[in-house]
């Protein structure tokens, strides 16, 4: 039995490029999944801010963001089925959900700004309420990640042919002179 030879990071990078050439839609999917993970890991900041400010529809916005994040991943996976054409309906539905996510983030940030700049009983976003500032900054980054995911999805027809042009062939010794092999003796 032949032992498998590990070529190191170069072979890993080559295999990674081959998988990207086959499924280039994985690039925006990873970015969209990162946006979901980013929001999920910082959910405590958002929940504490909702609890402190308790503005109109802040909890609903927080819930809708989590729901749309999970459902947009499902729609994205269904938009690009294996070895089939793109499911346009699911792609449009995913883009609508991402637009809803951006709206929810913007609305929530508006509620935070209204609470901070209120003329009656404004909230101080420093000291023990630093989580309000953290939530605001996290939502800004979340919106940027979502916009990058949409841009990568929209530009998929542009960079897909570029990925196909990358040479990922493995040069094996002895394969260069295939024409020189004499098979007339058989």
For 114-131, the pLDDT digits (tens) are: 999 988 888 888 889 999
Q: How confident is the model at residue 165 (pLDDT cuts 50, 70, 90)?
A: confident
Lowest mean pLDDT among 15-24, 35-44, 88-97: 15-24
Residue 121 tokens, joined: 């009983």
Residue 130 tokens, joined: 């630093």
Give DSSP secondary structure letters for 83-109.
TS---HHHHHHHHHHHHHHHHHHHHHH
**Surface-to-core class of residue 103, CB atoms within 10 Å of its CB (0-12 exposed, 13-18 middle, 19+ buried):** middle
Question: Of 22 and 151, which is predicted with more confidence?
Answer: 151
Question: Of 67 and 121, which is predicted with more confidence?
Answer: 67
From the CB of residue 80, how many other CB atoms can be counted at a distance below 10 Å? 21
Show Cβ contacts of residue 123 under 8 Å, excluding neighbours closer than 6 positions: 52, 53, 115, 116, 129, 132
From the CB of residue 182, how many other CB atoms can be counted at a distance below 10 Å? 6
Lowest mean pLDDT among 13-17, 45-49, 93-97, 111-115: 13-17
């Amino acid at each position: 039995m032949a032992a498998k030879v590990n070529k190191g990071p170069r072979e890993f990078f080559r295999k990674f490029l081959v998988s990207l050439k086959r499924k280039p839609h994985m690039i925006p999917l990873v970015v969209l999944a990162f946006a979901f993970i980013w929001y999920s890991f910082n959910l405590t900041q958002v929940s504490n801010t909702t609890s402190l400010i308790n503005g109109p529809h802040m909890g609903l916005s927080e819930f809708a963001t989590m729901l749309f994040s999970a459902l947009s991943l499902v729609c994205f996976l269904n938009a690009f089925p294996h070895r089939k054409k793109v499911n346009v309906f699911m792609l449009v539905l995913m883009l609508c959900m991402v637009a809803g996510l951006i709206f929810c983030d913007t609305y929530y940030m508006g509620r935070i700004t209204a609470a901070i700049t209120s003329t009656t009983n404004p909230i101080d976003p420093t000291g023990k309420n630093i989580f309000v500032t953290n939530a605001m900054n996290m939502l800004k980054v979340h919106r940027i990640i979502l916009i990058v995911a949409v841009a990568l999805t929209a530009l998929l027809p542009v960079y897909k042919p570029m990925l196909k042009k990358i040479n990922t062939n493995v040069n094996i010794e002895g394969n260069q002179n295939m024409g020189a092999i004499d098979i007339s003796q058989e």
